[in-house]
Amino acid sequence: MRAVRERPIYSEIFQQFDEFRPHTGAVYVHGESLEERSRHSVQWESASPTVKFGRVSDQQPTSFQLQLGGNAYRVQVRSAQQLRALWTNVAVKVVYIDITGLDHSTWAPLLISALSFGLDVRAVYVEPLEYAYSKTPTEGDIFDLSERIRGVAPVPGLATLVDAYAESIFVPLLGFEGTRLAYVLEQVQPSGDSIVPVIGVPGFRPEYPFHTYLGNRASLSTTRAWHHVMYARANCPFSLWYVLGDIAERWPGKVLKVAPIGTKPHGLGAVLYWMTAPGSVEIVYDHPVRKSDRTAGASRTSVYYISDLFAGTPVPRFQNVPSS
């Protein structure tokens, strides 16, 4: 097993978000949430007249609205036909998908469909400067991040038909919210020996991995899953992608049930791995409703060159994409 640092990382990191400019002639798809860090694209748009900016609004679990070039598109995220039609109408080669202000149910279908359409896909993520601490912290709730959990259900387009009797390894990608880990554990009910948590190390900030351990301490202790903890850079989907491959090699023949309940870059890495391992990966997502004031400020901007991950490889990476 090679260390992640010895493997190619197709990322570019900007310490200040105004240092980045999208590629000339590209399309930049973004959405604004109530978090301050999702509003950076306004500055990029004013400084990039040759780039077409598309704004996502009215994000629903099964659809979203996209305003692009004077046109408005209502896209059903489970419709491969509508997603293909969107990219056909856009008619560009390079597309940026800014996942900062987009829900998983929006950015994942957009990214998968753009890759399947043969576009040069790049993802963008802006880290928060601060997370909001809970005013009444309890074990598992150090930060005040989510209002509620909608429940475990497939991310649109990422459903996997798995043999009900197949042995599995449960891989929760941990964040600060221990309540989310406890919830998905209750839903999946894996045995302690089959739980392999992944923690973001290095974190967005040096102290964040310790917050992750503290927030999830109860579940990690009860299941004794702390024995199997693995690490991937918190802001790097490719680091997580390699780690999932290592887990699959360590437990050959088992289905990976991956729960992206931590950072969005780790969620992106989970989706990329799902694409490259058809039938052997299941995404377990709890669909949280985020609080509006959960973060403050904007920190580093990461640009992920997604298409470069697959360049020159015969991997059937789009086998999981529905055809209709």
- Identify the CA nearest to 242 among candidates 254, 253, 233: 233
- Identify the CA nearest to 124 among candidates 162, 98, 86, 159: 98
259 band by pLDDT with thresholds 50, 70 and 90: very high
Rounded to whole angstroms, the Cα distance separating 187 from 165 reads 17
Mean pLDDT for all residues in the chain? 85
Domain spans, the chain: 4-130+297-310, 133-290
Cβ atoms of residues 263 and 104 within 8 Å? no
Cβ atoms of residues 99 and 264 within 8 Å? yes
Average pLDDT over residues 64-68: 93
Dihedral pair phi/psi, residue 64, rounded to 5°? -155, 165
Full-model pTM: 0.89
Average pLDDT over residues 248-259: 94
Q: What pLDDT, on the 0 to 100 scale, is given for residue 261?
A: 95
Each residue's pLDDT tens digit, 105-119: 999 999 999 998 889
Name the least confident of 57-61, 203-207, 287-291.
287-291
Rounded to whole angstroms, the Cα distance separating 125 from 268 reads 10
Q: Hey, which CATH number is domain 133-290, 1.10.45, 3.40.50, 1.10.10, 1.10.760? A: 3.40.50
pLDDT at residue 250 tops 50: yes
Q: What pLDDT, on the 0 to 100 scale, is given for residue 34?
A: 64
Each residue's pLDDT tens digit, 68-124: 888 899 999 999 899 999 999 888 899 999 999 899 999 999 999 999 888 999 999
Dihedral pair phi/psi, residue 238, rounded to 5°? -70, -40
Rounded to whole angstroms, the Cα distance separating 97 from 22 reads 11
**Axis-axis angle for helices 264-276, 104-116 (nearest 10):** 40
Rounded to whole angstroms, the Cα distance separating 17 from 45 reads 13
313 band by pLDDT with thresholds 50, 70 and 90: low
DSSP state of 90: H
Rounded to whole angstroms, the Cα distance separating 204 from 263 reads 9
Rounded to whole angstroms, the Cα distance separating 286 from 161 reads 18
Rounded to whole angstroms, the Cα distance separating 240 from 106 reads 21
pLDDT at residue 188 tops 60: yes
Q: Which residues contact 273 (CB under 8 A, 6 or more apart)?
A: 240, 241, 244, 245, 256, 258, 281
DSSP state of 176: S
Q: What pLDDT, on the 0 to 100 scale, is given for residue 61?
A: 87
219 band by pLDDT with thresholds 50, 70 and 90: very high
Helices (H), the chain: 41-47, 80-90, 104-116, 178-188, 208-215, 217-223, 237-250, 264-276, 306-310
Distance of CA 175 to the CA centre of its chain: 12
pLDDT at residue 2 tops 60: no
Q: What pLDDT, on the 0 to 100 scale, is given for residue 135?
A: 64
Percent of the chain residues topping a pLDDT of 90: 56
Q: What pLDDT, on the 0 to 100 scale, is given for residue 17?
A: 74
Amino acid at 233: R
Name the least confident of 36-50, 135-149, 173-187, 291-305.
135-149
Rounded to whole angstroms, the Cα distance separating 178 from 40 reads 30
Residue 232 CB neighbour total at 10 angstroms = 27
Q: Write the DSSP assignment of 204-218 as a string of letters.
A: SSTTHHHHHHHHTHH
